[in-house]
Amino acid sequence: MSLIEIRKRSLTIETIHHEGGPPVAEPLKLAAACAVIRNPYAGRYEPDLMPFMAELRTLGTSLATELVEVLGRDKVEVYSKAAIVGVNGELEHGAVWHEAGGWAMRSVLGEPKAIVPSAKAVAATGYRLMVPLHYVHAAYVRSHYNSMEVGIQDAPRPDEILFALAMGTGGRVHARLGGLAKDAVTVHDGQR
């Protein structure tokens, strides 16, 4: 029997033309794919979460593939992951997404090196979470530090978990604060 029972999914796409400055030639696209599932451990302590984490790789691959289909694999420059656990669960039930969601995005995107940033919370239904984004090939590319809101109005219910992946096609549209530029990344170790 599967540990993953999906109640609903969502896909949100933002297209940013400007942030008060001149419109950019190619708008920035940010997208978040979410899945709301039944929490198999709601209301009880489970010492071994590894089978759940392993099974979630399939869900992660599905969400990552959906984002790549929407944005274009070669256009993805930023990414992140998030989990919102309903109040009958615990934070560790969302932490399983670190490996499952991160592994899935790396696999679908061709193994980028930068750490996948994340956010997680235990919260009531309708909670919204700001998810940090950064450059997929190096964590310190300042122009690509950004965020995107994820959440669904009726989720997660107390016995559910909302898992999300987010990707985008570039850095902030009017980035002009210096720092490491994506074109200057040389080490290819995900750091600089």
Average pLDDT score over residue span 159-173: 98
* Per-residue pLDDT at 169: 98
CA-wise closest residue to 78 among 131, 23, 17, 12: 131
| Intra-chain end-to-end CA distance of the chain, in Å | 44
Helix 50-71 crosses helix 97-109 at what angle (to 10 degrees)?
A: 40
Average pLDDT score over residue span 161-165: 98
Ranges assigned E (strand) in the chain: 6-16, 28-38, 78-85, 118-122, 129-135, 146-150, 160-168
Average pLDDT score over residue span 99-103: 95
For the chain, give every domain's residue range. 6-184
What is the band of 1 on the pLDDT scale with cuts at 50, 70, 90?
confident
Q: Does position 3 have pLDDT exceeding 90, yes or no?
A: yes
Average pLDDT score over residue span 110-128: 96
151 and 162 in contact (C-beta within 8 Å)? yes
Superfamily of domain 6-184: BB2672 (3.30.1330.110)
